[in-house]
Amino acid sequence: MSEPTKQALSAPLTERITAAIIDLIIAVGLCFFPRVGWMFGLIYHLMRDALPFLKGQSFGKHLLKIKTVALPQNESLTAYPEKSVIRGLVTLIPIVNLIDLWFLFSKGKRLADKWAHTDVIYSEESEK
């Protein structure tokens, strides 16, 4: 598990945005599959931070070595998939997604992070 004396560093805004763009490309790409693609794209978008085969990271976050964790214990979202869904839903709701962006650029933390009690940190390479 995580060590209580070790404080996790929050991921910088540029890495968060890059990971989000990678994940958006994947979700949109999934939508191009005939008939059910939109469903796979939506499921990926909502569950991307709780993927168990990537230790609770989305593909974009996995590539950039960052991850979303549940606060205050800094646990992976694989144990809290509802937090991943909250984070994903915020980006799909009109007006709320604009407020979420404003929070991200002005305060460095998304409104979705506040509502879901999560943070985006550097992932530890030593985790198995």
Full-model pTM: 0.84
Q: Rounded distance, CA 77 to CA 48, Å?
A: 10
**Residue 1 falls inside a structural domain:** no
**Residue 42 falls inside a structural domain:** yes
**Residue 3 falls inside a structural domain:** no
CA dihedral 33, 36, 41, 45 (to 10 degrees): -170
Structural domain of 20: 13-122
Looking up tokens 């939508």 gives 31
Task: Say if residue 20's pLDDT is above 90.
Answer: yes
pLDDT digits (tens, 9 = 90+) for 78-114: 999 999 999 999 999 999 999 999 999 999 899 999 9
Tally of structural domains, the chain: 1
**Residue 74 falls inside a structural domain:** yes
**Residue 20 falls inside a structural domain:** yes
Residue 103: burial class (beta carbons within 10 Å; 0-12, 13-18, 19+): middle
**Residue 6 falls inside a structural domain:** no
Asked if residue 62 lies in contact with residue 15, where contact means CB atoms within 8 angstroms, the answer is: no
**pLDDT of amino acid 119:** 93
**pLDDT of amino acid 4:** 43
pLDDT digits (tens, 9 = 90+) for 33-54: 999 999 999 999 999 999 999 8
- 44 token code pair: 């990926």
Q: Is 123 helix (H, G, I), strand (E, B) or coil?
A: coil
Task: Say if residue 3's pLDDT is above 70.
Answer: no
